[in-house]
Amino acid sequence: MTTLHTINKSPSNLALWHSCMAALLPGDTLLIIENGVYAATHTTIAEQLSTLEGINISFLSADVQARGLVVTESNNTSIVDDQQFVNLACQHSKTVSWF
């Protein structure tokens, strides 16, 4: 049983981000949307995300582009479009929204 976690708050809400990351289990996906995409530029959160093992991390491309950010894809990080967002929701047995 895997979970799709979506988070839309900026990394300035550290308590929410820490709660979200503590809930992640191997095989889960964290989809970062809306102002959450600023996590790519937030040193503390970006470092913590890079240490998560067995967790897939995705950024919604429309939100990254709308904010003029650059997100680098890596082993566990990807950029997804709206259709891929829908696919992620279908691939996971449940979805948890962090807001």
CA neighbours within 13 Å on the CB side: how many for 18? 5
Decide which of 3.20.20.30, 3.40.1260.10, 3.30.450.20, 3.40.190.10 is the CATH code for 3-98.
3.40.1260.10
- Average pLDDT (18-37) is 97
Give phi and psi for 39, each to the nearest 5: -60, -30
Domain map (residue ranges) of the chain: 3-98
For residue 75, name the pLDDT band (cuts at 50, 70, 90): confident
CA neighbours within 13 Å on the CB side: how many for 71? 30
| pTM for this model (two decimals) | 0.96
Sign of CA dihedral 74, 84, 69, 7: negative
Name which of 4, 8, 2 is nearest 62 in CA terms: 8
Q: What pLDDT does residue 72 have?
A: 87
